[in-house]
Homo-oligomer: A and B are copies of this chain.
């Protein structure tokens, strides 16, 4: 239990060294130590060097809490997701976290656990401590989001909230290429499996699919809403019309996977009897059989972009750009879609 680097520690009874300890040991004023770390250019090179050395010896680290008090700069950002357990967020978190880390920021993770109450409580606690937040998945109402945005810079993902910067996916394009793909395979009807009722993206996707379908002679019907999970997809499979459609487009990959699994369990073959398309391209689409055809979203880039937007908005006058930033998507064709067979197949 040696204390090689000589740093006194809390556990050993000592306290963490402060700026004063360093100042004393280096024979300078505290403010000079502060400058040496914050604005190295504003202090004599030799002095700065000596301070750094002494600080290292003492095991000194600037206390972000203390420095955040007078400046308001806490170097913390919050990321709100509705369910950490959802693989959809994994890539977003990764993107946000790495962008934050690169900028010297630390990320507060708030898992709303699909609960309004939990989300509000956690937000309440995190808000005063962070310099900005990205709402990747939130149950908050538009007005609640706007209220929050008044206190701290906010970036919303996959949702369009008036007056709040947002980063969305190109849902219209995604649905257009999906519809084209299906039409090209000879499908004439497609059932859209809807996600959560409150989801902005869900409404957007259904509308986009309908629009795209119109020009292609495709008929669109809708079932739902369902929880955006594999379990939700299983339920959705039961809600499909008795005369199974030849094609199903799901709000997201999890729903699509659930649909495929339930269909297969009933003896329905995918894609031979029914073609299925998902959205997002989360990792499981690659390990499922058949591989899921899906609209791939740049999730990691989205997380990164959100943090970048937040960081670049600091200090700026009004970050209200008006138009939401939209990220491109593309169709990834795997094995869950195939040429439509003549005549519908009766459901088991």
Question: A residues engaging B (CB < 8 A)?
Answer: 1, 3, 9-12, 16, 61-66, 68-69, 74-76, 79, 84-85, 87, 90-91, 93-94, 97-98, 101, 104, 106-111, 113, 118, 121-122, 124-129, 146, 149-152, 163, 230, 257, 261, 283-284, 286-289
Contact = CB atoms under 8 A, between A and B. Distances in A.
Contact of A150 (B10, B65, B101, B146): B10
A124 B11 CA distance: 17
A124 B75 CA distance: 13
Contact of A94 (B61, B84, B152, B257): B84
B128 A64 contact: yes
Nearest to A107: B109
B287 A64 contact: no
Nearest to A318: B11
A152 B288 contact: no
Given A106-B110, A288-B289, 10 more contacts: A61-B128, A63-B128, A64-B125, A94-B113, A101-B118, A101-B121, A106-B122, A106-B129, A283-B284, A284-B287
A287 B283 CA distance: 12
Contacts of A288: 287-289
A65 B10 contact: no
A151 B9 contact: yes
Given A107-B108, A150-B9, A152-B10, A85 B74 contact: no
